[in-house]
Amino acid sequence: MSFINKINLAITSSLLLFALATPASAANLTVTNVTLPSGTPFNLTISGGTLGSTPRTVTTPYAGQIVLQTNELGAIGTWCVDDLHTIYLNSHYTYTTGLLNTDSMGSTIASSHALGSQQIHDVMALATYGNQLLATTASGINRNMLSGEIQAAIWSVIYGATVTASGADVSGVSALTFNNGVQALKNLAPSLPTGPAVALFNLAADGTILAQSLIGSSTQLAQLVPTPNALALMSVVLIAGATLRKRHHG
């Protein structure tokens, strides 16, 4: 093998390793407002799973679709990934797009629990499905139930936990109906497509998680993040380039 050929292969190998080791490029979104148009009519308790012996309580209506108003893409329907951090309504943030790989329970993404491929699929699928359903559901108890159930199902999948609603009936609907709806969504998630779902992170310069990590779903949003398939294609191109150079110089 010639000296030049060795250099070409070394460069290509380095590029390949870089492509596989580097996270997908990200885009920043300037959030000018945060709203919760619809949310659970019941108080929720999240228990078990990676939460261990410390259950989380979410009071009505603070579990549901979170709408971000952004300068870049307008309104984006999103869902909370982790309930351990906070996002404030009527506030401004800078969020960065990325891939969903962890539960964001730690102080950084790297220190959080890794999610399995089925968990990632189900969370992305529920986010996409939830946005689709809410787009055609009028305001009222049905929308509040649906919004809360989707969010509860996402938390249940992420934490491997049980999410239980409690409280008196609301507009003739019981907490048991809510709980059954959450379970039905979890059962349905594996058969749903993930759609254009993308994770959103609010991070400090050192990687510290500042506000809740979110999962959004829209075609415009997905176009900002290269998919794992795109990165794999990049790797194939690099390998093919190395092979051609080897044949040319060999």
pLDDT at 247: 54
Calculate the average pLDDT of the chain: 87
The pLDDT > 90 percentage for the chain reads: 78
pLDDT tens digits, one per residue of 57-89? 999 999 999 999 999 999 999 999 999 999 999
pLDDT tens digits, one per residue of 224-249? 876 555 444 444 444 454 455 555 55
More confident residue, 24 or 136: 136
pLDDT at 8: 47
Peptide bond before residue 190 is cis, with ω within 30 degrees of 0: no
State the DSSP H helix or E strand holding residue 219, giving kind and residue range, or none if neither. helix 219-222
Entry pTM: 0.82
pLDDT at 13: 46
Copy the structure tokens of residue 198: 């993308």
- Contact partners, residue 233, CB within 8 Å, separation at least 6: none
pLDDT tens digits, one per residue of 83-105? 999 999 999 999 999 999 999 99
pLDDT tens digits, one per residue of 141-152? 999 999 999 999
Helices (H), 95-194: 117-134, 141-159, 175-188
Overall average pLDDT of the 38-54 stretch: 96
pLDDT at 26: 82
pLDDT at 223: 86
- What gap in Å lies between CA 15 and CA 28, rounded to an integer? 25
Query: 130 pLDDT band (50/70/90 cuts)?
Result: very high
Asked if residue 12 has pLDDT above 50, the reply is no
- For 221-232, the DSSP string reads HHTTS--HHHHH
More confident residue, 14 or 84: 84
> What is the SS3 assignment for 16?
helix
pLDDT tens digits, one per residue of 219-229? 989 888 765 55
Query: 250 pLDDT band (50/70/90 cuts)?
Result: low
More confident residue, 132 or 240: 132
pLDDT at 191: 98
> What is the SS3 assignment for 10?
helix
| CB-CB contact of 61 with 39 (8 Å) | yes
In the chain, what are the domain boundaries? 1-24+229-250, 27-225
DSSP category for residue 64: S
Ranges of beta strands (E only) in 4-82 are 28-35, 43-47, 56-58, 66-70, 74-80
Alpha carbon 68 to its chain's center: 14
DSSP category for residue 113: P
CA angle 227/201/181 to nearest 5° reads 85
pLDDT at 249: 55
| CB-CB contact of 125 with 50 (8 Å) | no
Alpha carbon 171 to its chain's center: 32
Overall average pLDDT of the 184-190 stretch: 98
